[in-house]
Amino acid sequence: MSSGWPNLSDLLVDKAADAPVGLVGAPLDAGSVTPGRCDLAPGLLRATLRRIGLYDVETGRELSTRIADHGDVPIAGLSIEEATPSIVAACKVSVERHRLTLLAGGNNAVTRPGVHALGLPLEKVGLITLDAHFDMRDTSAGLGNGNPVRALREDGLPGRNIAQIGLAPFANSEAMHRDAIEGGHLVVTIGKVHRDGIVQAISTALDHVRHCEALVVDCDIDVIDRSQLPGAPGARPGGMAVADFFAAARILAADPKVRLIDLTEWDPPLDATDLSALTAARWVAECLAGFEQR
């Protein structure tokens, strides 16, 4: 144990250790709609874990699940297309060894290789996104952080296997919305989350993908209201309350079908404070708390 109070960094162990959860960093910043430094996020996430305790006063339980840290995938300077095989390979190693893999991006383009890392036919994989955006931009000009869902659909992921939560007004196009609905996606807007609650939204999403054999969860951090998460270029006012984001992560991680959860679109230099870093590190705690409920 570290000196002082028990914290999340105490749970990190070597990648070769026997642990139920794996952590893979994918510092990808290529192809971003808004250029930034999302590649800095995995390193700062690890550094901030020491500031998050293990004891949950709400439940009276202390986190104890060890996390095998597989380090960062060496993809500096690579395009998305060039980086994808390495991200798939690193995540595949983790998925095969651990019951849950946490994939720390990097921009949202890491979601696609995360899905492929499961090694299953795509018709057996479900995708749940917490995101202000559909991520259904056209792929004709190449891969980017604005089109991983479109790219996965083109890879063969059925639309009926996709549930998207937190879609924001004035941040998406009519064409993308139409394509998602016609393709069979479950679409839960941020307004519906505000009206009906996050528990209902997550329950509906899990029901939508219940036919799938395994699930991937994409936590695009720009789903959070920008006043509570200034470190995401795509975050806007009126987004998801950070408490709802934490609740969603915990509920989803508790589902045994969830094999990989990513955190994407955190650009550390955008936030001169430590708010975004603490939010990202708390996400790890919520994922572990959910996992321990399985």
Would you say residue 184 lies in a domain? Answer: yes
**Would you place residue 36 in the very low, low, confident or very high pLDDT band (cuts 50, 70, 90)?**
confident
CATH number of the domain enclosing 256: 3.40.800.10
pLDDT(275) > 60: yes
Task: Please determine, for residue 1, whether its predicted confidence score (pLDDT) is greater than 50.
Answer: no
Does 31 score more than 90 pLDDT? no
Kindly state whether residue 1 falls inside one of the protein's structural domains. no
Is 18 a member of any domain? yes
Distance CA 263, CA 253 (A): 13
- Tell me the pLDDT band of 148, cut-offs 50, 70 and 90: very high
Q: Residue 2 — very low, low, confident or very high, per pLDDT cuts 50/70/90?
A: very low
* 2 inside domain: no
Mean pLDDT calculated for residue range 99-104 = 98
Residue type, 110: V
The whole-number average pLDDT for the span 129-138 is: 97
Instruction: Quickly state the pLDDT bin for 39 (edges 50, 70, 90).
Output: very high
pLDDT value at 280 more than 90: yes
- Which tens digit of pLDDT belongs to each residue from 165-188? 999 999 999 999 999 999 999 999
More confident residue, 144 or 208: 208
Provide the percentage of residues in the chain whose pLDDT is more than 90.
95
In a domain, 272, yes or no: yes
Q: Do the domain assignments include residue 41? A: yes
The answer to whether residue 3 is domain-embedded is: no
Q: 3-state DSSP call for residue 63?
A: coil
Task: Tell me how many domains the chain contains.
Answer: 1
Task: Using pLDDT thresholds of 50, 70 and 90, give the confidence band for residue 193.
Answer: very high
Question: What mean pLDDT do residues 193-209 have?
Answer: 98
Residue 129 included in any domain: yes
DSSP class per residue in 210-276: TTSSEEEEEEEGGGB-TTT-TT-TT--TT-B-HHHHHHHHHHHHTSTTEEEEEEE---GGG-SSSHH
Domain that holds residue 246: 8-291
d(CA 147, CA 289): 31
The per-residue pLDDT for range 68-77, each reduced to its tens digit, is 999 999 999 9
pTM: 0.96
**pLDDT the model gives residue 269:** 96
